[in-house]
Structure 1
Amino acid sequence: MLRISDIFLYPVKSTYRLSVTESAVLPEGLAYDRRWAIIDRDHTVLTAREYPAMLGIRTRLSGHALEISTPDGAGISVTLNPPPEELVPATLFSNEVSGIRVGSLADQLISDHLGTDCRLIFMDDTRGRIIPPKYNARATDKVSYADTSPVMILSEESVAELNGKLAQPVSVHHFRPNVVVSGCLPQEEESWKLVRIGDVILEANETCKRCVFTLIDPETHQKRADKEPLKTLAAYKKHPRGGVSFGITLVPRSAGTIRRGDRIEILETAATFSG
């Protein structure tokens, strides 16, 4: 049976995953997924590609707050919906992605951990950015601080197939999915166009293009020198826009809630999504 085996949020972009049993789904993606971002003094959004230590920052949703902690035991609790008292400009991949400054205590916690001057910003419901046309979305589709699209799905079977080709296996966490599914053929998810999970309908816009982030171990934060798993994926997982693909990205077409264990119904397929 095709079902959800796990759900992950990444409340602060590029930080450690947060496993949840259920999540509300909004037009910009899963609730509180990548709604916070860390920027440097030049107002550029930072990612673990350049700062792998960001993966040492953990988060937890607790009531009306987001708890943020670092490996040294330091932590802070911030409100889930900060008032727009100070709007800060920011840039992500040449896109303007302004956000609400969370506060000096959060800035200090993260700056101390990363060893560089940082600010933590938040994107509220009024500031989602338009998905660029090259990602095959509708003109009005929006996304939070996620790279390109609101939701990413990857199957356990695709990861198992990849690991059969690797000398040193990787986990699903190398690919930072929002929704992990099981019960399909390897790579089958990349042929889905329209799916229903519970009462939520999602439309796939493209296969997920992969980058050097996949080379960083999510637990040790060390980058692999052998270029795996990208090297192996490149042999059989070409992306239509060049590079490597793995998994699929989707845009919500209805709001609702998804839960671990939910069945997934395939409403429409599109073989052109295959890498």
Structure 2
Amino acid sequence: MNKFFLSGLFIYPIKSLGGISLNQATLEEKGLQFDRRWMLVDEEGTFITQRKYFELAMLAVNIVEGRLVISHKTQPDQNISFLLDEDNGKSFPVVIWNDTATAVEVNETVSKWFSDFLKFKVRLVKMPVAEKRMVDPRYASNDEVVSFADGYPCLLIGQSALDGLNEKLKNPVKMDRFRPNFVFTGGIPHIEDSFKTFYIGETLFLAVKPCARCVLITIDQQTGEKGQEPLRTLAGYRTVGKKILFGQNLLHQHLGTICVGNELRVVEWKMEVM
């Protein structure tokens, strides 16, 4: 019997900007601490992502001494930072896909920095702790809530899934294109499709829905350049119902601490596997 172990742990504090690799993270109600708690919005309050603005891939994010630090990957002198708990108290509705949530602006200086970078007016907003953005009720099991992530608190991908994809590609891609929270080792490619309930360490998760992929995975996270891969190759063997699937969206049943090296123990398996 295969054993599975957590080999990667990632958060993406600002939606659609660079991620942070961690050795340990706290799992809160909305997902991993600091994950997708901030987001860029346009003047109408609609979310901004790499799907349209590829250059966002070039912004790295780090947490340093209680501050969120944003810097350009090739021009490190182009940077800005702010306190993790900072906001100017100005709340307003924002739109993420079909959801509307309440957000607060961090401050006008930070918003101007991002506006200058993108060359149009945007605001950087934060999700208040008390805000309740509900998970799609078709998949929720206990009125779960989510941050500014696309739809679910956490995303899981097996390293073998990426390895299997890269064997089919002329130019291998990195895992950062897929923006997982959890990466694990062990098993055949896409074995996570067959997980139903499982533990990572002492925390129970429910795999509720495969992750449908979009143009974002064609953007090189080191250069900000867009191509056709790996979406074109994945379409050839991972298309189900006109959607290209890669990874599993998760709901967590407990709060707690997740660490790289934790064993992933499957409790229930799905009867049908892709």
Moved over 3 A (4+): none
- The alpha-carbon deviation at position 84 of structure 1 amounts to 6.9
State the Cα deviation string for residues 233-275 of structure 1 (Å, max 9, x = none): 12221245x3110111101110001111111111111144x44
Q: Residue 13 of structure 1 corresponds to which residue in structure 2?
A: 15
Matched, 1:245 2:251: no
Q: Which amino acid aligns with 2:131?
A: R
CA distance in 2, matches of 1:222, 1:185: 31
- Aligned-residue sequence identity (percent) comes to 30
Mark the CA change 1:111 to 1:83 in structure 2 (over 3 Å): closer, same or farther: closer
Q: Residue 203 of structure 2 corresponds to which residue in structure 1?
A: 200
CA distance in 2, matches of 1:239, 1:47: 25
Bigger CA drift: 263-272 or 188-197? 263-272
> What is the SS of the residue equivalent to 2:13?
coil
Q: Residue 50 of structure 1 corresponds to which residue in structure 2?
A: 52
Matched, 1:171 2:194: no
State the Cα deviation string for residues 132-153 of structure 1 (Å, max 9, x = none): 234x222611111111111011
Q: Residue 61 of structure 1 corresponds to which residue in structure 2?
A: 63
* Equivalent position to 1:131, from 115, 124, 135: 135
Q: Residue 29 of structure 2 corresponds to which residue in structure 1?
A: 27
> What is the SS of the residue equivalent to 2:172?
coil
Q: Residue 101 of structure 1 corresponds to which residue in structure 2?
A: 105
CA distance in 1, matches of 2:6, 2:117: 34
> What is the SS of the residue equivalent to 1:108?
helix
Task: Report the aligned-residue RMSD.
Answer: 1.6
CA distance in 1, matches of 2:65, 2:85: 12
CA distance in 2, matches of 1:262, 1:54: 32
- The alpha-carbon deviation at position 81 of structure 1 amounts to 2.3
Q: Which amino acid aligns with 1:19?
A: S
> What is the SS of the residue equivalent to 1:196?
strand
> What is the SS of the residue equivalent to 1:244?
strand
Q: Residue 210 of structure 1 corresponds to which residue in structure 2?
A: 213
> What is the SS of the residue equivalent to 2:239?
coil
Q: Residue 157 of structure 2 corresponds to which residue in structure 1?
A: 154
Query: How many pairs are equivalent?
Result: 270
Mark the CA change 1:33 to 1:46 in structure 2 (over 3 Å): closer, same or farther: same
Q: Which amino acid aligns with 2:42?
A: D
Q: Which amino acid aligns with 2:117?
A: H
CA distance in 2, matches of 1:182, 1:171: 15
Q: Residue 255 of structure 1 corresponds to which residue in structure 2?
A: 255
State the Cα deviation string for residues 40-98 of structure 1 (Å, max 9, x = none): 11211000001111111221112332122234323222222235711122111131122
Please tell me whether the aligned partners of residues 166 and 173 of structure 2 are also in contact (alpha carbons under 8 angstroms): yes
Length-normalised TM-score, structure 1 = 0.93
Q: How does 1:176-191 map to 2 (within 5 A)?
A: 176-191=179-194
- The alpha-carbon deviation at position 231 of structure 1 amounts to 1.7
Q: Residue 235 of structure 1 corresponds to which residue in structure 2?
A: 236
Q: Which amino acid aligns with 2:267?
A: L
CA distance in 2, matches of 1:34, 1:160: 27
Unmatched segments (≥5 aa) in structure 2: none
State the Cα deviation string for residues 177-232 of structure 1 (Å, max 9, x = none): 111111121110111111111221111111111111111111111110xx321222
Bigger CA drift: 64-73 or 157-166? 64-73
Q: Residue 40 of structure 1 corresponds to which residue in structure 2?
A: 42
Unmatched segments (≥5 aa) in structure 1: none
Q: Residue 89 of structure 1 corresponds to which residue in structure 2?
A: 93
